[in-house]
């Protein structure tokens, strides 16, 4: 059973945005809202389901491919709740479900990580929230409308609400999949009035856990929101500093332990080396460090440190990410080519990409080839990996 599904709700009409198309398909800074929302999700180890208005399915598939993610596109319903239900039906059997609004297109990775961590720690419903900073008043009554009066003049304002007790809800919201399905079933027709999935879960008597949200996860609803998003996207483009690096590693067969490659255990004799010999992870480390001008894996962790005897490749990848982070760098994506007669990469390519993507918090593509019998890898003596990394300054 797949661990997690991410439902991206993109079926809203966008009337208040005023662009003449559904909100998710409106253009912002050279791309649609939906493309901005999907661009940074390739690292997420989840089955992605995108819910769109009828007639926009093909467009959404094209946008997802352009954004670099594999997504299952389904048609939404008349209400947000109907669209979430369509996404749940397409998600299949999963342990966790994340529900995210495409309109929160600038949401960074941090809220996703916080929500996932809370679910894995045992929570059944998790929402990212922000403190309310504006002064809030209750409306006691609505007077007769004067069309010549300024906006809000027809309202009689009541008491000020203590904003320290208020929180603004964001997405992605995360749930135990069975609990969310049960909440929708229990709500029946009343779910049509709900604009928040956590509300339905709470109606079951289940606890909802809050985690910190992010200012960038604001919802693009009005023209002013769109202007803010375009300004931030333009600024991000100007400030982005990109670097590339290449890493190469090779190990011979002959290790005493299991065969580890791309963070996965494979059948067959292991690779020789002080650690687990995972040439894919080691090449990725060298590519990341090379891109940032920070040396190589030997300088990072040493080549024969006793504490790394038999260590998994993930240990070195994490160490490289910490080193990059300390210098203000973060990975954008990594591509790895594996050279060798065995193991065959193709049957487990998707699994390897998911595992490596989760390690890096960025998309990773993996491919395999042989050397037509040439050299040590061609003779079946070992495996080589060549990695290319793209990083950016945070």
| Residue numbers belonging to the annotated binding site | 249-251, 274-275, 282, 296-298, 369-372, 379
Sequence ranges of the binding site for a divalent metal cation? 249, 251, 282
CA angle, 214 then 390 then 316, to 5°:
85
- Length in residues, the chain: 394
Q: Please report which helix (H) or strand (E) contains residue 130, including its range.
A: strand 125-131
User: Which of 327, 334, 326 lies closest to 361, judged by CA?
Assistant: 334
The CA distance from 296 to 299, in Å, is: 5
Strand order in the sheet with 264-271: 264-271, 242-261, 382-393, 329-339, 364-369
**Is the Cβ–Cβ distance between 263 and 313 less than 8 Å?**
yes
Burial of 195: CB neighbours in 10 Å, binned 0-12, 13-18, 19+: exposed
Q: Using DSSP, state whether 300 is helix, strand or coil.
A: helix
- Can you give the C-alpha Rg of the chain in angstroms? 24
Q: What backbone torsions phi and psi does residue 214 show, to the nearest 5 degrees?
A: -145, 140
**Is the Cβ–Cβ distance between 96 and 122 less than 8 Å?**
no
50-to-58, 83, 98, 199 alpha-carbon distances in Å? 12, 10, 12, 22
The CA distance from 141 to 353, in Å, is: 57
Q: For helices 349-360 and 279-292, what crossing angle results, to 10°? A: 40
Q: What backbone torsions phi and psi does residue 83 show, to the nearest 5 degrees?
A: -70, -40
User: Which of 229, 211, 209 lies closest to 130, judged by CA?
Assistant: 211
DSSP character at residue 152: T
The CA distance from 368 to 348, in Å, is: 11
Q: Using DSSP, state whether 216 is helix, strand or coil.
A: helix
* Distance, first Cα to last Cα, the chain: 35
């Amino acid at each position: 059973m797949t661990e997690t599904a991410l439902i991206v709700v993109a079926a809203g009409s966008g009337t208040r945005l005023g662009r003449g198309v559904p909100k998710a398909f409106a253009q912002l800074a050279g791309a649609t809202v939906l493309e901005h929302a999907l661009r940074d999700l390739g690292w997420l180890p989840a089955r992605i389901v995108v819910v769109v208005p009828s007639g926009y399915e093909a467009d959404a598939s094209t946008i997802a491919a352009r954004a670099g993610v594999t997504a299952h596109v389904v048609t939404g319903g008349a209400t947000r709740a109907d669209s979430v239900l369509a996404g749940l039906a397409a998600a299949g059997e999963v342990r966790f479900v994340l529900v995210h609004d495409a309109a929160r297109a600038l949401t960074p990775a941090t809220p996703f990580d916080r929500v996932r961590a809370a679910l894995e720690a045992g929570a059944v419903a998790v929402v990212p929230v922000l403190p309310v900073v504006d002064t809030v008043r209750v409306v006691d009554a609505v007077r007769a409308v004067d069309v010549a009066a300024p906006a809000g003049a027809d309202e009689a304002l009541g008491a000020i609400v203590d904003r320290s007790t208020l929180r603004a809800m964001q997405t992605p919201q995360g749930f135990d999949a069975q609990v969310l399905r049960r909440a929708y079933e229990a709500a029946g027709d009343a779910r049509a009035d709900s604009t928040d999935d956590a509300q339905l879960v709470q109606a079951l008597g289940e606890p909802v856990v809050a985690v910190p949200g992010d200012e960038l996860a604001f919802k693009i609803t009005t023209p002013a929101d769109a202007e803010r998003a375009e300004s931030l996207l333009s600024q991000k483009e100007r400030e982005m500093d990109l670097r590339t690096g290449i890493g190469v590693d090779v190990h011979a067969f002959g290790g005493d332990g299991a065969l580890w490659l791309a963070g996965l255990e494979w059948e067959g004799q292991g690779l020789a080396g002080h650690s687990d010999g995972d040439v894919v992870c080691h090449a990725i480390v060298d590519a990341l460090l090379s891109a940032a001008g920070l040396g190589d894996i030997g300088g990072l962790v040493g080549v024969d440190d006793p504490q790394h005897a038999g260590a998994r490749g993930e240990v070195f990848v994490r160490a490289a990410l910490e080193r990059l982070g300390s210098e203000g760098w973060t990975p954008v994506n990594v591509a790895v080519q594996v050279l060798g007669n065995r193991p065959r990469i193709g049957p487990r390519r998707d699994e390897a990409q998911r595992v490596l993507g989760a390690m890096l918090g960025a998309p990773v593509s993996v491919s395999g080839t042989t050397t037509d019998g040439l050299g040590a890898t061609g003779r079946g003596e070992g495996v080589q990996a060549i990695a290319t990394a793209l990083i950016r300054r945070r």
